[in-house]
Amino acid sequence: MGKEFAFTEIIEAAATPEQVWDAIATGPGIDSWFMGHTDLDPGEGGTVRTEAGGGRIPVSTITTWQPPGLLSHRFDGPDGRILAYEFLIESRGGSASTLRVVTSGFLPGDDWADEYEAMGFGLALFYGTLAEYLAWFPGRLARPLTAVRPVADWTAAWLSLGRSLGLGRAPAQGDEVRIHGESGVVYLVNEHAVGIRTGTAFYRYLRALPGGVMASHHLFSPTAFSPSAEPAPWPAGAFEGA
């Protein structure tokens, strides 16, 4: 049977088309908002390779390369699976752009429902982070930090995360929190993910199926690329006992 899908995101960015292009069409730019580490070989026929949490996302082939306006790449699996991305950048004049992202494809088999749901929640986090990146850190590069740990009880997990952030409950969008000694704001919450922005980082936690939570952070501090400055992936007490 299977499932065709398409998700569309529109981002109004206070960034030039060139800054948006660097964010979506270079490995270091993608490392600053997506997940894990990405290598991108530019040009039509080039590849996009991402590794995160010990796993590899299917390798995409670049099908359209028109800087700084249009990028598309897709993966076609032997089982009929398709995963395609299209990024359309339009200048609004000055240092402002509109980015339209369409993620589409096909999930094969009869067990597509869980994957489809997780994909929707995950894309909301990634593209929400991209919007935050273009708003707060345009032109800057981050070091990605990824870690995974098991979780059995998600209600308890999100509650413990909230407590570690100085809340008496699970995080909610717009909450002001403290994390790794910094003030931050929760910019996104859904059933599968929490995203927090500080002055030097994005701290993100998302469900890693099956039965795990992934820390997928982006560190913008000037010392972020020094191993001695690397923060612990988990705030003290977060996800303990869950």
Q: What pLDDT, in 10s, does the model give residues 46-68?
A: 999 999 876 678 999 999 999 99
Per-residue pLDDT band for 194 (boundaries 50, 70, 90) equals very high
Q: Tell me the C-alpha distance between 4 and 82, whole Å.
A: 9
Q: Are 74 and 84 in contact (CB under 8 A)?
A: yes
pLDDT at 55: 67
Closest CA to 59 of 79, 78, 77, 34: 77
Separation CA 202–CA 80 (nearest Å): 35
The pLDDT-based confidence of 223 (bands split at 50, 70, 90) is confident
Domains of the chain: 3-136 (3.30.530.20), 143-229 (3.30.530.20)
Note the pLDDT of residue 1.
Answer: 85
The sign one gets for the Cα dihedral 210, 122, 61, 7 is positive
Query: Of 51, 206, 216, nearest to 118 (Cα)?
Result: 206
- Token pair recorded at residue 50: 């991402």
* pLDDT in the model for residue 53: 73
Tell me what the pLDDT averaged over the chain comes to. Answer: 94
CA atoms within 13 A on the CB side of 38: 25
Asked whether the whole model's pTM tops 0.85, one would answer yes
Between 13-17, 197-201, 237-241, the lowest mean confidence (pLDDT) is in: 237-241
Contact 193, 119 (CB under 8 A): no
The DSSP 8-state label assigned to residue 36 in this structure reads S
Lowest mean pLDDT among 16-30, 192-206, 219-233: 219-233
138: preceding bond cis by omega (within 30 degrees): no
Distance, in Å, from the CA atom of 11 to the CA atom of 27, rounded to the nearest integer, reads 20
Within 8 A by CB and 6+ apart from 43, the residues are 62, 65
